[in-house]
Structure formats: structure tokens, C-alpha cells
């Protein structure tokens, strides 16, 4: 393709452009989703620490709240940039999708914009209000940040759930009619996907923040220090992740059953079911348990489950990608659940006199990796959801190849995005590192009140 043809828009998008558009969307979504998770969870952690500071007058809690919200402010700004890029990509990469169905789900994006502005305004008030508002008034200004963050994520999520279960419109001669935005937003997939994503976001944020302080605790042990600042800084976010982990298992089971009932191709790919048959075994990596999948899904060991052979060849997702990402998510989720169970047991034993249990070196080393594990699990889960829906951008209604921008040169956008996001990530890490400073002097207070 010549430069002239590219600049003048001659020709058409090549298969390489189509693949580049998908990779660009996957990359920017994968980048943004971690920032969005921290944006949901970190204000909640901040308010929890500030609430403890107000109740106890403890300077450690107040310092944690102040530092966490400053970090949230930086990441909020970066997330606003990456979120804006995503909104432009929806129109530039997938104009067929936006042109035809934007009228159906556009209301959700409009509401998300309102929630975003509320979140931004009150985050500014909260950050500027340190030492300028009364303690109670300052705490109250943080509540809208948490609520608006949750609403913003939920509104965006309704669009994705609609792509999985499209409702709220009719197609007449290929044209969209009888649009019902509320029916589109509250489609059958919204409840399970919203709860699943919010819990995952809280887990990602909790474990990422905790992993930072786990490294600090390991350094303390090596130096022979006992820093209460790091212990509380670890205990609050790790407890959040630990509480969400078992809840996520329950919601995950709900999500799998929903997919089995409503997206059989995705379910067959997730579970590696090649042939339709009764008494499906449960397969995970190299393990196989006869009849177990039929029993777990239908409570009948001889129930018949559809395999990939029941799906037309042109409607099948990339099965290996979906199965691998699903298994990565499950494996990492189980590791996080085991660490959460140990944390709960250690907390319970500690109250009975086993004081050092939560701070064992092996546990802290594992905890230092929980942030990475949670983030990878979220990316794997998102990959399962999105790749499992292929070849549809709107399930059963519009194929992804119908939505692509027909103009050539889309792959150059991917190159630019990769370069810009590399600089953005480096700048963000540099700013966060510069925000570090020596923690306050240890305060003699009763230990581990925060793990109650």
C-alpha cells in the first residue's frame, strides 16, 4: 500500500488491518481495565482508612488515606486519557457498529459521562480539601467519588453485556427500530457481568495495593524493623481482596451457568467440549473427571451438553484461546482464594495468641505476587468474555468483520498506540515512584485492629 493510497483512503482494509484493529482494541482495553479497577477500589480503601483515622485519631491511618488518594488522583488522570482513547477507537475502528447500534446503547455512555464528571469533580474537592475542610466534611466529599466510580463502571459494563445479550430494539429490513434504551441497559447479562466485574475490580485493587506493602514488610524483616505503617497498609487492602475472593467464586459459578444457557459456543470453548454427548467429563489442564461437568452444571451426571460440533463452523470462537484464558483465570483465582483463606485463618488464630502467623516470610512473598496474579486473572477473564463471543461483535446479530472501518492503514494506529502507551506507562510509574517518601515514625498503638 503506497503512502498516497493510505493518505487518500484508496483501497480497503486488509486482513492485517482487521487483525491490527482487534489487537489495538484488546491492548487499550487491557491497559485501561487495570486502571479502572484501581479507580473503583482505591477511593473505597482511602475512605476506609480515613474513617478509621476519624474514629481512632491514629496518624498512620490518616497518612495512608492521604497517600492513597494522591495515587488515585494520578491514576484517575491516566485512566481518563486511556478511556478517552477507547471512546475514539469505538468510532474510528468500528464505525459500522457505532453507526448502526449507537442509538441503542448510547444512553449508557451518556450516563457514564455524567458519572465520570461527578467523580472527577468530587475527587478534586477531596484532594484540595485536605486541611481546608472539617474532618467530617472532608470524609463526606469522598463518598461521591466511590459511588460515581461504581456507577461509571456499571454503565460501561451494560454496553458490553448488551453486546453479549442484545435487547431493546428490532431489526426491520436490516434497520434498527423500536429502540428501548432501558431494555438494552438492563439486558439479561447485565446483573451477572456487573457483579462479576465489580468484585474483580475490588480484588485487583486490593491485591495490587497489598502487594506493595508486602514488599515493604519483607524489607522490614530483612532490616530487623517492625513498621506498623506497612502492616496496616497491607492489612486493609489485602482484607478487601480476601473478602471478595470467595464471593467471586460464587458469582463466577453464576456467570458460567449463564454462559452455558445463553452462549453455548462460548461455553463449549471454555470447557473444551468438542463433541455433544451425555455425561460430559470435567477437564482442567491435564486432569479429567468423568461425568463431573454434566453433574456440576445440570445436577445430572448423564445430562447432555452441546459441544463445538453442534455449532456451525463459521460461528465458532477460537477455542484454544478461550479455553486457555479461562483456565488461567480459574487457576489464579484458586491461588488467591487459598491465600485469602490463610489470611482469615491467621487472623482467627492471632486473636488466640499466635501473633506472628500473618507475617510469615512465605506468606509475604506470595502476597507480594497477588497484585500481578489478580491483574492477570482479570485480563484472562476479559479475554474469555471477548474472544469467546467471536465471530460476533453483537452476539447473533452483527459479525465483527461487518463493523470494521473499511479504510486502509488501520495497523499504523496500533503502532502509534503502542508507542504512546509505553511513554504513558513509564511516565505514570515515574510519577508514582516520586510520590514515595519516608513513612511516618511507628506509632505505639494496639496492633492489627484493621483486620477485624
Give the tens place of pLDDT for each residue, 133-146. 999 999 999 999 99
CA nearest neighbour of 395 among 194, 97, 6, 72: 97
β-strands 398-399, 392-394 pairing: antiparallel
- Residue 228: what pLDDT? 87
In Å, how far are 98, 118, 127, 380, 436 from 34, measured between CA atoms? 25, 21, 22, 12, 21
Measured in degrees and rounded to the nearest 5, phi and psi for residue 351 equal: -65, -15
pTM value is 0.88
- Alpha-helix runs per DSSP H in 263-318: 264-271, 292-298
Q: Which three three-digit cell numbers place residue 399?
A: 459479525
Q: How far apart are CA 340 and CA 350, in angstroms?
A: 15
Low-confidence ranges of the chain (pLDDT < 50): 1-9, 443-452
Query: What sign does the dihedral 285-287-290-296 (CA atoms) show?
Result: negative
H or E stretch at 288: strand 287-289
Q: How far apart are CA 214 and CA 363, in angstroms?
A: 9
- Burial code of 201-227, b = ≥16 C-beta within 10 A, e = fewer? bbbbbbbbbbbbbbbbbbebeeeeeeb
Please, what is the Cα angle at 128 between 126 and 130, to 5 degrees?
75
Name every residue whose Cβ is closer than 8 Å to that of residue 158 and which is 6 or more positions away in sequence.
105, 108, 184, 185, 186, 187, 190, 194
CA nearest neighbour of 124 among 133, 136, 135: 133
- Residue 373: what pLDDT? 95
Contact 280, 267 (CB under 8 A): no
In Å, how far are 172, 209, 286, 443, 452 from 215, measured between CA atoms? 59, 10, 34, 20, 23
CA nearest neighbour of 22 among 101, 93, 79: 93
The total of other beta-carbon atoms located within 10 Å of residue 44's CB is 24
Give the tens place of pLDDT for each residue, 115-164. 999 999 999 999 998 888 999 999 999 999 999 999 998 999 999 999 99
Name every residue whose Cβ is closer than 8 Å to that of residue 442 and which is 6 or more positions away in sequence.
226, 227, 228, 229
In Å, how far are 244, 257, 271, 303, 305 from 278, measured between CA atoms? 35, 17, 15, 5, 6
Measured in degrees and rounded to the nearest 5, phi and psi for residue 280 equal: -70, 135
- Residue 451: what pLDDT? 41
Contact 368, 211 (CB under 8 A): yes
Burial class (CB in 10 A: 0-12, 13-18, 19+), 337: middle
- Residue 452: what pLDDT? 40
Amino acid at each position: 500500500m503506497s503512502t498516497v493510497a493510505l493518505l487518500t483512503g484508496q483501497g480497503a482494509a486488509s486482513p492485517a488491518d482487521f487483525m491490527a484493529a482487534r489487537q489495538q482494541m484488546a491492548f487499550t482495553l487491557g491497559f485501561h481495565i487495570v486502571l479502572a479497577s484501581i479507580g473503583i477500589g482505591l477511593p473505597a480503601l482511602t475512605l476506609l482508612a480515613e474513617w478509621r483515622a476519624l474514629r481512632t485519631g491514629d496518624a498512620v491511618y490518616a497518612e495512608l488515606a492521604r497517600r492513597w488518594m494522591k495515587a488515585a488522583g494520578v491514576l484517575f488522570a491516566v485512566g481518563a486519557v486511556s478511556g478517552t482513547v477507547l471512546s475514539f477507537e469505538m468510532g474510528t475502528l468500528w464505525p459500522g457498529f457505532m453507526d448502526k447500534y449507537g442509538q441503542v446503547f448510547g444512553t449508557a455512555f451518556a450516563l457514564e459521562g455524567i458519572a465520570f464528571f461527578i467523580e472527577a469533580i468530587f475527587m478534586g474537592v477531596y484532594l484540595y480539601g485536605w486541611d481546608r475542610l472539617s474532618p467530617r466534611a472532608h470524609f463526606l466529599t469522598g463518598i461521591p467519588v466511590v459511588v460515581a466510580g461504581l456507577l461509571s463502571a456499571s454503565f460501561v459494563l451494560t454496553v458490553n453485556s448488551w453486546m453479549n445479550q442484545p435487547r431493546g430494539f428490532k431489526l426491520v429490513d436490516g434497520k434498527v427500530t423500536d429502540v428501548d434504551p432501558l431494555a438494552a441497559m438492563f439486558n439479561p447479562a447485565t446483573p451477572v457481568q456487573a457483579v462479576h466485574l465489580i468484585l474483580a475490580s475490588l480484588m485487583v485493587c486490593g491485591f495490587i495495593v497489598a502487594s506493595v506493602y508486602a514488599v515493604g514488610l519483607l524489607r522490614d524483616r530483612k532490616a530487623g524493623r517492625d513498621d506498623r505503617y506497612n502492616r496496616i497498609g497491607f492489612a486493609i487492602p489485602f482484607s478487601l481482596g480476601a473478602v471478595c475472593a470467595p464471593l467471586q467464586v460464587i458469582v463466577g459459578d453464576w456467570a458460567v451457568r449463564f454462559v452455558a444457557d445463553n452462549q453455548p459456543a462460548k461455553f463449549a470453548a471454555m470447557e473444551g467440549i468438542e463433541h455433544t454427548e451425555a455425561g460430559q467429563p470435567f477437564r482442567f489442564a491435564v486432569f479429567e473427571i468423568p461425568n463431573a461437568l454434566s453433574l456440576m452444571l445440570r445436577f445430572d451426571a448423564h445430562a447432555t451438553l452441546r459441544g463445538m460440533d453442534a455449532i456451525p463452523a463459521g460461528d465458532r470462537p477460537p477455542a484454544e484461546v478461550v479455553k486457555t484464558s479461562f483456565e488461567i483465570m480459574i487457576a489464579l483465582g484458586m491461588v488467591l482464594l487459598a491465600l485469602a483463606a490463610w489470611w482469615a485463618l491467621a487472623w482467627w488464630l492471632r486473636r488466640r495468641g499466635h501473633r506472628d502467623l500473618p507475617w510469615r516470610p512465605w506468606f509475604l512473598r506470595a502476597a507480594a505476587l497477588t497484585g500481578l496474579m489478580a491483574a492477570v486473572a482479570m485480563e484472562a477473564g476479559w479475554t474469555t468474555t471477548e474472544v469467546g463471543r467471536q465471530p460476533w461483535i453483537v452476539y447473533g446479530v452483527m459479525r465483527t468483520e461487518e463493523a470494521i472501518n473499511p479504510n486502509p492503514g488501520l495497523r499504523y494506529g496500533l503502532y502509534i498506540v503502542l508507542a504512546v502507551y509505553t511513554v504513558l506507562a513509564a511516565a505514570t510509574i515515574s510519577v508514582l515512584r516520586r510520590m514515595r517518601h519516608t513513612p511516618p515514625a511507628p506509632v505505639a498503638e494496639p496492633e492489627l485492629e484493621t483486620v477485624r
